[in-house]
Amino acid sequence: MRSRSPWKPLRLAAALAAVSAAAVPLAPSASAGAGAAEPAGHLSRTVESAASVVYDPGMKWRCYSVSDETAGSNYGNDSRDCGKIVHPNRVNADCTWFGYTSPRGVECPAWRFVTYNWRQDRLRAYPGYDHQVQGDSGAPLKLVLQNNSLGLRDTAGQTQNCELKEVAVSHEYVGSSFKRKADGSTYNFADGQVKVAYDALVEQTGGFACEEKRALLTTDFIYRTARGINVISVVHFDPGPFSRPNDDGVLWSNNCRKADGTADGCRMTVHGEQLAPGERRHLEVDFSGIARKYRGYLDGEAVPSASQIEAVQVVNSAKGADLRAEISGLDVTLG
């Protein structure tokens, strides 16, 4: 993950985990009891009951952009509903590229689509990708993530392209997607019980054309610690499967290290509630509970006090496969 200013694209955490997972063997079990140990004491509570910590809970308003992570560019800006969520904490002079100015000043998109490893000339083509917003503003919008790389050829046009391809929807931009506290400070993972919920439907058509059988839908929670960026990725759809869990139930972990062995943020992937093909289901992910359960994969510290929430993403990722996902009602709560 590259460091960036709040208005710049945030590299998909799932992409980093996915690329690493393809190159690194499954992590061995952490220290004994890693999956069951609970931290001593309790989390500090700044919110007594669960409350949304994003400006557009449910993604009900068309106030978004599309970011091409590979090219580092933005396109497809839609600001027609941004006036519904005007707030002084969303003002950011560096978002002039988005093209929306409220009476308070320039504001950023409230959420965004993110693509990884797709050229824009493959938008709404086949093989190719798509991102659609359906429904009436003011009600939870249906967001369609289409990711079709089955039959996509390499640059020479000879063999199946087996690069990782992703289409995602993301709450980020601290102070633009995520609210701030009354004193202007940002929310931390340690401030309460963090949960992510939404409705989802996912369907794969065709089979797999690459050795790694990847057609995944994940919920990714990203937060910043003193050690670096931590990413917890929860898999809801994995027909391949792309990996097998170890004895602790972990599909992949970087063991909080870079490839050269130096210290890094902690990244891990585990199973969550599973979706059957074509089934629309409400999903809820308790990331605080997951962090406590798998603290052995988070440098032994489930929820550090310094743990600024950076992003929540729902990611459709595939290699040589066709995968379509529908997402609605995405919200992040703290209780």
Is residue 4, in this structure, part of any structural domain at all? no
* Model pTM score: 0.87
Residue 153 has pLDDT above 80, yes or no: yes
Residue 285 has pLDDT above 50, yes or no: yes
Residue 34 near residue 248 (C-beta atoms within 8 A): yes
Is residue 1, in this structure, part of any structural domain at all? no
Do β-strands 194-205 and 165-171 pair in parallel, antiparallel, or remain unpaired? unpaired
Is residue 6, in this structure, part of any structural domain at all? no
Q: What is the per-residue pLDDT across 195-239, written as a single tens digit (0 to 9) for each?
A: 999 999 999 999 999 999 999 999 999 999 999 999 999 999 999
Residue 10 near residue 224 (C-beta atoms within 8 A): no
Q: What is the CATH number of the domain that holds 18?
A: 2.60.120
CA separation for the pair 333, 335 (Å, rounded):
7
Quickly state the pLDDT bin for 155 (edges 50, 70, 90): confident
Tokens standing for residue 39: 């931290």
Quickly state the pLDDT bin for 172 (edges 50, 70, 90): very high
CA separation for the pair 161, 207 (Å, rounded):
14
In order of 50, 174, 190, 291, 314, the CA distances from 286 in angstroms are 12, 21, 13, 9, 15
Is residue 138, in this structure, part of any structural domain at all? yes
Cβ burial of 61 (10 Å; 0-12, 13-18, 19+) is: buried
CA separation for the pair 74, 97 (Å, rounded):
8
Q: What is the per-residue pLDDT across 226-237, written as a single tens digit (0 to 9) for each?
A: 999 999 999 999
The count of structural domains within the chain is 1
Is residue 254, in this structure, part of any structural domain at all? yes
Is residue 185, in this structure, part of any structural domain at all? yes
Of 288, 284, 332, 330, nearest to 307 by C-alpha is 288
Residue 9 has pLDDT above 70, yes or no: no
Phi and psi (nearest 5°) for 268?
Answer: -150, 155
The type of residue at 114 is V
Domain that holds residue 65: 13-334
In a 3-state reduction of DSSP, which class is residue 172?
Answer: coil
| Helix runs in the chain, H state only | 13-23, 287-293
Residue 14 has pLDDT above 60, yes or no: no
Question: In DSSP terms, which residues pair with 315 in a beta bridge?
Answer: 168, 218
In order of 78, 104, 221, the CA distances from 8 in angstroms are 17, 21, 18
Is residue 7, in this structure, part of any structural domain at all? no
Quickly state the pLDDT bin for 240 (edges 50, 70, 90): very high
CA separation for the pair 3, 265 (Å, rounded):
13
The type of residue at 309 is I
Tokens standing for residue 123: 């938008």
In order of 4, 160, 317, the CA distances from 204 in angstroms are 34, 18, 11
Of 170, 117, 115, nearest to 146 by C-alpha is 115
Is residue 171, in this structure, part of any structural domain at all? yes
Model pLDDT, residue 270:
98
